[in-house]
Amino acid sequence: MDSSRSAQRSVIQFLRAEWEHASQIYRRMKEVNGEQCFVQCTIYRLCQRYEARRVNIKDLPRSAQPHVVTNCATISAVDELIRQKRRITTREIAVELSIKKGKVHRIIHKKLGYGKVCAEWVPKHLSENQKTARMGVCLTQQFLHRSHPFSSKRCGISASMSMAIIYSCTVPHEL
């Protein structure tokens, strides 16, 4: 593949030296190479480079950092850190695993399905046991509210707070 790319660059350089227009070069190369041909914008860019007397037809080494792919090992490492310390921040995870903070955020919210409630990471979707426990907390709050006629109308706890309480009661973790 690399040799065909170098060959195409050589052809572009040759045709540009004969003052062939970039659109003509693209048309001719598309006829010869078919699907393996450079896209039109690449040919235009190479023509501009050759006009500026940059004649290196090899691929230059890239200075950018390698792209880190989100793999199962990274996802499980993030999950393990969250399970060890529920109040860990995305920045702390990023520093510990040497990945970008945005990548950590994407793993936590999209891949693992966690959300932050009361400064702790909890799953967005509760298990059946957690749903049952949450229903019990809600019914208890409703019963307590009705049994005390002088209590205020807002004496219960919020749904997010009950989710945090239920999750902390049903999932063992160190504080």
19-28, 144-153, 158-167, range with greatest mean pLDDT: 19-28
List, in order, residues 6 or more apart from 78 with CB less than 8 Å away.
Answer: 93, 97, 104, 107, 108, 112
Q: Give tens-digit pLDDT for 153-167.
A: 444 555 555 555 555
Q: Give tens-digit pLDDT for 49-79.
A: 887 776 665 666 665 656 666 788 999 999 9
With 0.85 as the threshold, say if the pTM is over it. no
**So where are the chain's domains?**
5-52, 65-122+162-174
Q: Give tens-digit pLDDT for 35-50.
A: 889 999 999 988 888 8
Q: Give tens-digit pLDDT for 85-133.
A: 988 999 999 999 989 899 999 999 888 888 887 777 777 777 788 788 8
Pinpoint the alpha helices (H) of the chain. Answer: 2-17, 22-33, 40-51, 72-84, 90-97, 101-106, 128-147, 159-170
* 65-122+162-174 placed in CATH 1.10.10.10: yes
